[in-house]
Amino acid sequence: MDFGLSPEQRMIQESVRKFARERILPNAREWDLAQEFPRALLSDMGRLGYLGVPIPEEYGGAGLDYIAEAIVFEEIGYADSSVRTTLSVQMSLVELTLLKWGTEAQKQHFLPRLCSGEWIGSFGLTEPNAGSDAANVQTTARRDGDDWLLNGQKVWISNANLADMAIIFAQTELGSKSKGMVAFVLETMTPGYSTRKMTGKLGLRASDTGEIFMENVRVPDSARLGKVGEGFKIAMSALDNGRYGVASGCVGAAQHALDASVKYARERIAFGKPIAGFQMIQDMLAQMKVDVEAARLLVYQAGWTKNQGLVSTIPVSIAKYFAAEAGKRAADAAIQIHGGYGFSDEFVPERLWRDMRVASLYEGTSQIQKLIIGRDLTGIAAFE
């Protein structure tokens, strides 16, 4: 067992940390207040290879492994979870799904554009009545000659309004649940496809979130991703990657909460000494440290599984569940340690707390992760 990083992983860690601390961190508060995603940032990230970390070089990626991918998410997540979310959707949910399920023509067409940051991608699974119950999608896909007609609505879609392309999940036969699902990869300029921005979010305010509307969106059969009936498996395998990205990002945010808290505790004087000298503060800091280390090791364990080419569903659900909850705990403790200042947007814990709240909701709630783990342990599904 080797807990060290390889020279390549170390190199990308240094490079992405420098980029995130210089280019993202100082601007994160401003982007959060403006509720706007800094689109121009993506091209720079693409140039540096951060948008296609585990994608082979022949498709414009960096050709690195899944631990390197986690490192990129951790460092970006340290600086800003909004940017990390945009990146997670692009790299984990969209690019890796195309890599696994796409035809050669689809990979050649989409992957270089996504890896370079020229294009942004989105992942259209969730609907008003299909959140945790993802197999209940009501968007329909109907054959029309050689084409397909898509009709329906998606909601809570990250990158929706910025996206140049989307992976869309639809039903060929309503009521057939996971058996009848089919996936498509399409360009968002396709007639009949429109989006609407969703505002008023508690956190992740700089990341774009929207609804997608499809009215007789005509796509050729060559836009189909995988076979008819494979859509649900494609969605679940995509989430095995997406949840890994979320977990890695939460490690970074929790580390940030810890670093900010240690710094503040050493500087803040109360009762004539730095508050870092109080046992109850050290108790909170130690708990945060244990959470961060445990979450990172669980992420690396899941990444190791992926690097071996093994099915990663369970290690990923364990890492996602733990890291999301650890991130929330760490952000909350950081507010407590900062006292009244922690409640102000002048200090970072407030944004971390708001941004971490969604981590146990999106890409599968903490409850869903526990049910996936529970089914694996018992052989009995609790969600049927």
Say whether residue 72 binds ligand CAA (CB under 6 A): no
DSSP helix/strand/coil, 363: coil
Task: Report the nearest approach of ligand CAA to the CB of residue 222 (Å).
Answer: 23
User: Taking CB under 6 A as the criterion, which residues in 168-187 touch ligand CAA?
Assistant: 178
Q: What is the DSSP string of 209-257?
A: EEEEEEEEEEEEGGGEES-TT-HHHHHHHHHHHHHHHHHHHHHHHHHHH
Nearer to ligand CAA, 236 or 276 (CB): 236
CA atoms within 13 A on the CB side of 87: 37
Q: Look at phi and psi of residue 60 and say left if phi exceeds 0, alpha if psi is from -120 to 50, else beta.
A: left
Say whether residue 78 binds ligand CAA (CB under 6 A): no
Nearer to ligand CAA, 262 or 371 (CB): 371
Q: What is the DSSP letter of 53?
A: T
Say whether residue 233 binds ligand CAA (CB under 6 A): yes
Nearer to ligand CAA, 205 or 338 (CB): 205
Q: What is the DSSP string of 252-300?
A: HHHHHHHHHHHHHHHH-EETTEEGGGSHHHHHHHHHHHHHHHHHHHHHH
Nearer to ligand CAA, 148 or 232 (CB): 232
Nearer to ligand CAA, 303 or 364 (CB): 364
Catalytic annotation on 22? no
What gap in Å lies between CA 384 and CA 380, rounded to an integer?
A: 9
Say whether residue 372 binds ligand CAA (CB under 6 A): yes
What gap in Å lies between CA 366 and CA 368, rounded to an integer?
A: 5
What gap in Å lies between CA 118 and CA 135, rounded to an integer?
A: 32
Binder among 101, 148, 232, 322 for ligand CAA (CB under 6 A): 232
Say whether residue 157 binds ligand CAA (CB under 6 A): yes
Binder among 239, 254, 318, 359 for ligand CAA (CB under 6 A): 239
Say whether residue 165 binds ligand CAA (CB under 6 A): no
Binder among 116, 248, 305, 313 for ligand CAA (CB under 6 A): 313
Binder among 139, 237, 255, 360 for ligand CAA (CB under 6 A): 237
Q: Per-residue string for binding with ligand CAA, 273-312, x by CB under 6 A?
A: ----------------------------------------
Say whether residue 383 binds ligand CAA (CB under 6 A): yes
Say whether residue 363 binds ligand CAA (CB under 6 A): yes
Say whether residue 81 binds ligand CAA (CB under 6 A): no
87 within 8 A of 73, measured Cβ to Cβ: yes
Give alpha helix (H) positions in the chain. 7-19, 28-34, 40-47, 66-79, 81-88, 96-101, 104-116, 231-267, 279-307, 313-338, 348-357, 366-378
Say whether residue 255 binds ligand CAA (CB under 6 A): no
User: Taking CB under 6 A as the criterion, which residues in 93-122 touch ligand CAA?
Assistant: none
What gap in Å lies between CA 214 and CA 181, rounded to an integer?
A: 17
Nearer to ligand CAA, 261 or 313 (CB): 313
Nearest one of 196, 182, 135, 189 to 166, comparing CA atoms? 189
Residues designated catalytic: 363
Point out which residues bind ligand CAA (CB under 6 A).
Answer: 89, 123, 125-126, 132, 134-135, 157-158, 178, 232-233, 236-237, 239-240, 313, 362-364, 368, 372, 381, 383
